Structure 1
Amino acid sequence: MKSNIRNAYYLRIVIFLSIIIIPIFNIDLKSNQVSEIDNRMLMNFEDIFTDSNDSRSIFNNASSYLNDRIGFRTSMVSLYTNGMDMLFDELVHPSYEYGKEGHIYLKLPETAVNLKFQEVFSSFIKDFQTYCNEREIKFLYTLEPNKSTIYPEYLPEGYNRSTENLDYFIELLEGKDINYLSNVDTLLNAKEDPEYKDILLYNKEYDAGHWNETGAIVGFTAIIDRLNELDNRVGRFDITNFEPEEYINETLVASNFVINEETTNYNLKEYNIEYIEDYEDEIIRHENFRYFTHYKNLTNTEGPRLLIFAGSYFNNKEKFITGNFSEVMKIHNYRNVIDYEYYINIYNPDIVLFESTEYTNTGYHYPINDMEEKTYIKSINNYNNLIENNFVYVDNKNIQKSGINITNFVVPIESDDLLYAYVDINNRILDCKINVVEDNLYVEFSIITSELENIDSFDLYFISKDEERYQQINIIYNY
């Protein structure tokens, strides 16, 4: 009898330890993995040390890495989440939680006030705007709201929502004279408009992280109106180009959590848009944030070219904006926007639209160090009456190029007095990146390969550190 009790006791211990140990031994160590239930990239090991000077941050990141990567995570979370909802009417999920009257919100941690980030981010946007305007490119920044900002009345009982980050950020945008649109105000105003009084701009349950397509139409109408003020070729949003269709959503976005909610989508009546795949495999993007689209409008060839840096609020919503432009190129904004010169060199847009969302305006998506260390490149047109001088040596014989549809140039140089570098190709000035690799200095730039046809040379221009001297070097190049 005692033996049976002892064996049962040991069996419980083995089962308990197996439940703990087996998931740990099946931890996912692969890089660049996507979570099906969180709709995001899982944290990579190197991300643990993003802020190596902050031990608390490293500890929190390590904990997040383990939570992300532990074995059988998707199955365990789905089973537990649906079970808790059926038994206790509780939504226990890594991304979502219940508010009042069955409304679902993204997970609602206590707001971490970070005024330093708002200052650095707004200064980065200001420099970005100046960069574009100096090159005769129109610029607009747009801010999208959280669902909790538009519908705070359905938040969980007792949740203390802070708007300190948002309020201070908008104050900075105003004070720095940034051309911006707050769709926070746009959606709050629409919510009170009789036309939308009884229509939700975010779904009650489905996709709590983004506006629904009705909310998107409100937001995109405001965006297009503002872009039309910058360039009257844009025109206005025309709802008659779309027809509504009702959908039933059976699970939350990127989750196996069961729902049954009807939502309205809007489909183009005539699809005159061509998707361009030519550059998708070559254009450089951050390994964790790779969303990319490029469309040509077959019926509006005279419209302006629009380059967008945007997040998931714009995913699958390009249909609301493509009709107003000859081309629309969209790059995932997180981290990629730091290298805006690279994308502008390639796409040569008429207008740049930079969008971010209230809940993503944090140091993870737009690292403070990267923004603070960003080199702002003045336009070559700012310089007049410079003295020609030799302070750069270019090794013509070792110029490297790569790529098929996009050609990337790497030009080895020698100089200890170089501030900026530019290249003139077919009377178009591109800004060059100055890169140091193992004490070797390089000038780098990328351009669409078709722009190199029928040319056999290009000119490099260099500006000295004192900004009083320049040097021009002709590079012989056989296409």
Structure 2
Amino acid sequence: MKASKLFNVSLGVIFITMISIPLITVNRTAGQISVAENRALASFPSLKTVEGTFNTQIIKEYEAWFNDNLGFRDEFLKLNTSLQYKLFGNLTRTDTIVGKNDWLYYVTPEIIKDYQHLNLPTSQQLELWGDSFKLINEYLDEKDIPFITMINLDKKTIYPENYPSSIYKIGEVSRTDILVDYLSSKEKLDIFTPKKALFEAKKLQTLYSPRYDNAHWNNYGAFIGYLELMERVKKYYPNIKILSWDDFEITPYEREFNLYDVVRFKETDYAFKLKKESNAVQIKDKFKDLNLIHSDLSVSYTNKDPNLPKVLILGDSYLYNFLTPYISESFSEMNFIYTDNINRLKSFIELYNPDIVIYENVERMLDGTLPSIVESSESFKSYNSYVNLPVSSNPSFWLDYSNGEFVKSQNEVEVDTSKKLTNFVGWALDSQEMSTATNVFLKVGNKYYSGEYGLPRPSVSEYFNNSNLYNSGFSININTEELIDAGEIEFIIISKDKEHQYKPIKIKIVEK
């Protein structure tokens, strides 16, 4: 009896000691770095915000601090990671699964659906996407600007043989296959994937990162994609410069993916280095005034040869991380903007006047960008579509801000000459119908710009007590130099029924 009681007491003491040590040894050093995760741990929360008000998120922030700073946290993470991998072949990273031959794949529920072909588009979705691409294509055709769409392929598509066998695929036709076939045949869009070239090349060389990078192709695969894209460009510019394998020194090197310093995956990759000095120079801070999503993933280059064509690319990491320096060798100016900003495509075209436009996306990201294209508040109708409409008086318009600063007068606007771009924000209505308009155009010199129209303006809706006016806002970016040269600008409102336009609102430009 005594032995049993002593055992129970001892067990209790051991249990209390085990749960107490992590609490006693909790980290109290602000800004501590987790060695296992290579990141700063959450700081202890404050009762007040920087504005001096009560911190309503204090409980949530305390929970984050406690979870991050519990004693021996790094050791527990490492132990759990090691056991999960050794016993079950799993990683403790929720965005990564281990396939056959220790290949690592990036996963989300949407990506697994894509692999299984459970996300095939409906006819309605195809029509919506087709209509949106058709508008873009027609707009660029009117300007005689070629438009190329490149859908890049996930690792799971090119290397399905190493995907976990527990995940089953239904049929052989993917959403990408259906989308490319529909847009190329019905809408006559210049759209392609490098699928055939990649499948041919994989017979000779590994084209995607097996273990270091769970999501992307490697430098070999990227260069196959580059060649396919540039051959597409060559249809429109037969003399375009295209880099070849011979332009590079290609050297092997080892790289390693290290998870919490306990699970390591190694592979051989190949570094590509141009043999000759590059003709292209990166331009810093080109897009700093555009308020881009992921502005750090956008980049601009200019070339020593000013006679080459200019290109605008809306793309993702498949180009940004691997190919933008090589693409820039072929163009006098290359503006690469991260594809999450695709809903502002027309604004970028008007700003940078490209000779060719390329939209690139990896297939797993189509869930984000295709709806953005459909739901964009931009209109791809140019002012030429409305130029002959009759003119009505009494426009309802207000210019609120110029580069974030309140506009003091509706007769003139101060423009900051130290900024390359000027952003105008305001609202406009169809005053006869007391509804939102079709679009608002900004005339600068002999050019017309439209930007975004249909942005939320709840204050306008409340002021007029009319819910139909909620989406009456506009935002237009324009090169500051053009404004200064023009000296005066005009805003032109197109009526809701597209049957008339309103008398231009003239505003003088004043240098600040």
Q: Is the Cα–Cα contact under 8 Å of residues 137 and 352 in structure 1 kept in the other structure? A: yes
Which range is displaced more, 84-93 or 379-388?
A: 84-93
Alignment of 1:23-172 (within 5 A): 71=68, 75=74, 80-82=80-82, 84-85=84-85, 90-107=90-107, 110-111=112-113, 113-114=118-119, 115-116=121-122, 119=126, 120-162=128-170, 163-172=173-182
CA distance in 2, matches of 1:408, 1:235: 36
Q: Report the equivalent of 1:457.
A: 488
Which residue, 400, 407, 412 being the options, matches 2:422?
407
The alignment partner of 2:419 has SS state of: coil
Amino acid at match of 1:249: R
CA RMSD of aligned residues (A): 3.9
CA distance in 2, matches of 1:372, 1:7: 66
Shift of 1:475: 2.2
Amino acid at match of 1:259: F
Shift of 1:224: 0.9
CA distance in 2, matches of 1:85, 1:208: 16
Q: Is the Cα–Cα contact under 8 Å of residues 398 and 411 in structure 1 kept in the other structure? A: no
1:467 aligns with 2:470: no
**1:284–1:464: structure 2 CA closer, same or farther, 3 Å change rule?**
same
The alignment partner of 1:444 has SS state of: strand
Alignment of 1:74-473 (within 5 A): 75=74, 80-82=80-82, 84-85=84-85, 90-107=90-107, 110-111=112-113, 113-114=118-119, 115-116=121-122, 119=126, 120-162=128-170, 163-174=173-184, 175-191=186-202, 197-232=203-238, 234-251=240-257, 257-269=263-275, 270-286=277-293, 290-298=296-304, 300-317=305-322, 318-334=324-340, 336-362=341-367, 365-366=368-369, 368=371, 371-372=374-375, 374-394=377-397, 396-397=410-411, 399=413, 404-411=419-426, 413=428, 415-416=430-431, 418-434=437-453, 435-440=455-460, 441-470=472-501, 471-473=503-505
Q: Is the Cα–Cα contact under 8 Å of residues 490 and 506 in structure 2 kept in the other structure? A: yes
CA distance in 2, matches of 1:214, 1:342: 34
Q: Is the Cα–Cα contact under 8 Å of residues 309 and 332 in structure 1 kept in the other structure? A: yes
Shift of 1:94: 2.2
Which range is displaced more, 428-437 or 398-407?
A: 398-407
The alignment partner of 1:222 has SS state of: helix
Shift of 1:143: 0.5
Identity rate, percent: 23
Q: Is the Cα–Cα contact under 8 Å of residues 420 and 432 in structure 1 kept in the other structure? A: no
**1:170–1:369: structure 2 CA closer, same or farther, 3 Å change rule?**
closer
The alignment partner of 1:478 has SS state of: strand
Shift of 1:392: 1.3
**1:123–1:72: structure 2 CA closer, same or farther, 3 Å change rule?**
farther
Structure 2 stretches of 5 or more lacking a match?
Answer: 40-62, 399-409, 461-471
1:150-172 deviation per Cα after TM superposition (whole angstroms, max 9, x unaligned): 12222223431344423332333
The alignment partner of 1:198 has SS state of: coil
Amino acid at match of 2:478: I
CA distance in 1, matches of 2:280, 2:236: 23
CA distance in 2, matches of 1:357, 1:476: 45
Amino acid at match of 1:455: A
**1:84–1:327: structure 2 CA closer, same or farther, 3 Å change rule?**
same
Amino acid at match of 1:183: P
Normalised by the length of structure 1, the TM-score is 0.77
Q: Report the equivalent of 2:54.
A: none
Q: Report the equivalent of 2:403.
A: none
Amino acid at match of 2:193: S
CA distance in 2, matches of 1:256, 1:380: 61
CA distance in 2, matches of 1:170, 1:295: 30
Normalised by the length of structure 2, the TM-score is 0.73
Q: Is the Cα–Cα contact under 8 Å of residues 84 and 92 in structure 1 kept in the other structure? A: yes
Which range is displaced more, 241-250 or 76-85?
A: 76-85
Q: Is the Cα–Cα contact under 8 Å of residues 206 and 251 in structure 1 kept in the other structure? A: yes
Larger Rg: 2
Shift of 1:118: 5.5
Amino acid at match of 2:388: N
1:162-193 deviation per Cα after TM superposition (whole angstroms, max 9, x unaligned): 444233323332333222011223312433xx
Which range is displaced more, 401-410 or 339-348?
A: 401-410
Count of aligned pairs between the two proteins: 433
**1:391–1:332: structure 2 CA closer, same or farther, 3 Å change rule?**
same
CA distance in 2, matches of 1:320, 1:263: 18
Shift of 1:254: 11
**1:100–1:384: structure 2 CA closer, same or farther, 3 Å change rule?**
same
Structure 1 stretches of 5 or more lacking a match?
Answer: 29-34, 39-65, 192-196
